[in-house]
Amino acid sequence: MYVNGGGGREWDSAASTVTVSLTKGDRVYVRHDDNDQGLAGIVRGGQTTFTGFLLQRQFDDAPVVG
């Protein structure tokens, strides 16, 4: 996903939803690629947030951990 504020005092935002199948111990990374723009008053630092949750266990005999 690419969002461009175009410079000046413009504000842009974006959202995306991704569903992935993970195994215990897998890692998920979220990266703000271009941090040369200030967001919400932060000079030269973009903001990226992430949240995740379990939709369904794949195996009934495996306990949910976490």
Mean pLDDT, residues 24-35 taken together: 74
Distance CA 24, CA 30 (A): 18
State residue 32's pLDDT score. 64
pLDDT band (50, 70, 90) for residue 62: low
**Exposure of 31 in the CB half-sphere (CA atoms within 13 A):** 3
pTM listed for this prediction: 0.43
Q: How confident is the model over 41-59, as a mean pLDDT?
A: 67
Mean pLDDT over the full length of the chain: 68
Whether the pLDDT of residue 31 is over 50: the answer is yes
